[in-house]
A and B are shown apart, each in its own frame.
Chain A
Amino acid sequence: MNSLISLEKVNYQIADQHILHDVDWQIPAGAHITLTGPSGGGKSTLLRIIAAMISKTSGTLIFDGQPIESYDPIMYRRQVSYCFQQPTLFGETVADNLAFPYQIRKQVMDTQRVVTALNNVGLSERTLHQPIIELSGGERQRVALIRNILFLPKVLLLDEVTAGLDENNKQIVHAWLRQLNEHDHVTTIMITHDATEIAAADQLAKVVAGRLEVHA
């Protein structure tokens, strides 16, 4: 199977602190992967390198057949979309957030698509004009996730996005992510400690003290 993303001997260090050691990783297109490991082990760093939010110190990272350096970082991030743990919402209302992906592409917000996306994660059309300060933690996280997928990326990188959610919200988000993966063929890599999420993955990867272990 062809790899959509392939890492070879990827290292990351800050000053003399070695955060990732010789990471080799093949990520097949369409895979649904969970990434676990103790905190401070380097999981988020690894995802942020794949997201082009930070740059590896050495090694190679190939995306879709080309080294990451050959892409314009802005265009690359539209294809490999990273969602933060505890995201910040922008502006005043939910609409300000969901209009953002359109603004940066110089397009007008497709309200129909936005409303469908809201419905898919169990939010109503009414939410669109709600001030963000009125949203619960679960609603914020879902709005943030929608920002990442209004324009479907090839890869979705999720950094413990369900960690703050209650069981009900978690299930809604899971079902939706599964749909994105199976129906829309979005390759997903999620950092999680959740047993159900780990069980549902095609591939389980673990980062311990900066080293990657992959279990198919």
Chain B
Amino acid sequence: MNLAANNTSLFLAAMLVLVALGISLWQKLGLDRDIVIGVVRAVVQLFIVGYLLKYIFRVNNLWLTLAMIGFIIFNAAWNAKKRGPGIDHALAISLLAIFVSTGVTLGVLVLSGAIKFVPSQMIPISGMIASNSMVAIGLAYRSLNSQFHDQRQGVLERLALGAGLLDASIAIVREAIRTGMSPTIDSAKTVGLVSLPGMMSGLIFAGVDPVRAIRYQIMVTFMLLSATSLGSIIACYLAYRNFYNEQKQLK
């Protein structure tokens, strides 16, 4: 293997952060604080995760693996929730949506034999699934919020005509699900042409034959489609009711 990233090379690579900071200061983007916080968090979190994973992989305990997956799902839900300000129970909804989308997708992968139930495969794959589901749900929440705001009059008119809450919201719900899924579909179309995504790049980096590496990338493409579609549909169908009160009026 030709893997040479050490602490010194990382320190030198940190110059790249200065590029982003420089642009933020020069263009007065006001992002400098966020960039610094983001970088510090990334470094600290990754170091902790690195040591934690090393331990979990060595112990190879079922419950510890499940606990780690649970932790990933909870964090993903927590982050998705933040994209849905004003949506009540956004945490519970996100948790359910990410749990189901991750669970179903992982289940299919394990049962089909694509991955083995060992921590070194289960945990990274769960992370990929949950994070994509999280992004999809976050986008869907944002879309719900903006559409219920922009199309308020249309929703009110549907209600005034005696539409049920789903009939009054269905166009918005569909658009939000579409918004949640579309980045995954777009990247599925360009995978290999524009980007060599993480899974495949990582394997190639580690010296695996590209023809084998792409099989894993194909699996990732499939699993992300399932995860984002399940995550978006569950989150949207549970969240749209939040825009109405008990008297079935638009809040």
Contacts and interface: CB of A to CB of B under 8 A. Distances in A.
Interface of A: 51-55, 72-75, 77-78, 81-84, 87-88, 90, 100-101, 103-104, 144, 147-148
Nearest to B166: A104
Contacts of B167: 103-104
A53 B165 CA distance: 13
Interface of B: 153-154, 156-165, 167, 171, 247-249
B105 to A, nearest CB: 34
Contacts of A148: 160-161
Given A55-B249, A104-B167, A84 B161 contact: no
B161 A147 contact: yes
A88 B153 contact: yes
B249 A90 contact: no
A90 B167 CA distance: 12
Nearest to B152: A88
Given A52-B247, A75-B162, A90-B157, 18 more contacts: A51-B160, A52-B249, A53-B159, A53-B160, A54-B249, A72-B248, A73-B249, A74-B164, A74-B248, A77-B159, A82-B160, A84-B153, A84-B156, A88-B154, A90-B154, A104-B161, A104-B163, A147-B161
Main secondary structure of the interface of A (DSSP, over half): mixed
Contacts of B163: 74, 100, 104
B247 A73 contact: yes
Contacts of B162: 74-75, 77-78, 81, 101, 104
B104 to A, nearest CB: 30
